[in-house]
Amino acid sequence: MAKRIDVSGLSAYYGNHRAIEDISMTVEPRSVTAFIGPSGCGKSTFLRTLNRMHEVTPGGRVEGKVMLDDENLYGAGVDPVAVRRTVGMVFQRPNPFPTMSIYDNVAAGLRLNGSARRKSEIDGIVEKSLKGANLWNEVKDRLNKPGAGLSGGQQQRLCIARAIAVEPQVLLMDEPCSALDPISTLAIEDLIGELKEQFTIVIVTHNMQQAARVSDRTAFFNLAGVGQPGKLIEIDETQRIFSNPSVQATEDYISGRFG
């Protein structure tokens, strides 16, 4: 249950401002692809075009194609709600539903769109998802306690459990560790390594060591100047990007000469 993403000629706008320009790339299934680049280069915006979250922002619109295997996510008649069920997302700050218990947080997606399931079935999925997010042992005795009572790192793993409970094809992660301490970060990174067995994972990160540690392929984004649209500079095997990139700007960024 992992699909290939094929992006071609994609631009995204906020009103009349073009945030990213003419991006084409392929994201391989069952692998981790990292997006790196300076602030404002549009990597988060690009990530949000992959599950049609960009258009939720007032004035947000997208041109171009995003193919998920054979289906164009921006094709005529495609329901964005259905897209977001197929392409899950984890955000920068952990955002469990504060009014729900740990159990209900994980089950939240299962109860959407009028899908009726048996209690025992939901129980099973909740347990499987929490185990998948390496959180089960820590919370199995307090599933009915509020999710907001967990630590930041646990909350982020709860959000991952919530995202994988609906069995998406792709998992998008927008700087999932930037609000976490190093130990929680390590836990999430280990988890990403396990999750790529099942999912296509795309992760935006400001931490280049993290990109080097967790990803198979890395894409470098950059922008010509303030107010200019962000562009994809190159995408390659992570090892190549960090040792011998083909574009000078990439090497400058990675070696800390700018950005």
Partner 1 sequence: MDIVNSPGEHPPNSRQPAVTRLGDRVFLGMSRGSGILLLVIMAAIAVFLTVRAIHAISLDHSDFFTTFEWNANLQPPSFGIAVLAYGTVVSSLIAMIIAVPVSVGIALFISHYAPRKLATPLAYLVDLLAAVPSIVYGLWGGLYLVPHLQGLNLWLNEYLSWTGIFHKSDPSSAARSLFTVGILLAIMIVPIITNVSREVFRQVPKAHEEAALALGATRWEVVRMSVLPFARSGIISASMLGLGRALGETMAVATVLSASPVLSARLLDPVGGTFAQNIAAKFAEADNFGRDALIASGLVLFVITLLVNGAARLIIARRKEYSGANA
Question: Does 240 engage in binding with partner 1 (CB under 8 A)?
Answer: no
Cα–Cα distance measured from residue 164 to residue 252, given in angstroms and rounded to the nearest whole number: 36
Given the rule CB under 8 A, which of 14-22, 23-31, 99-107, 187-195 is the region that contacts partner 1?
A: 99-107
Cα–Cα distance measured from residue 95 to residue 145, given in angstroms and rounded to the nearest whole number: 16
Question: Does 259 engage in binding with partner 1 (CB under 8 A)?
Answer: no
Question: Does 15 engage in binding with partner 1 (CB under 8 A)?
Answer: no
147, 153, 157, 162 alpha-carbon torsion, rounded to 10°: 40
Residues 6+ apart with CB under 8 A from 102: 96, 130, 139, 142, 143, 144, 145, 146, 147, 150, 158
Residue 163 tokens read as 């995202």
- Binders of partner 1 among residues 72 to 91 (CB under 8 A) are 81-85, 88-89, 91
Question: Does 108 engage in binding with partner 1 (CB under 8 A)?
Answer: yes
Give the binding-site size for partner 1 (rule: CB under 8 A): 31
Lay out the site mask for partner 1 across 128-167 (x = CB under 8 A, - = otherwise): ------------------x-xx---------x--xx--x-
Residue with tokens 């990007």: 241
Judged by the rule CB under 8 A, the positions of this chain that interact with partner 1 are 51, 53, 56, 58, 81-85, 88-89, 91, 93, 95-101, 108-109, 112-113, 146, 148-149, 159, 162-163, 166
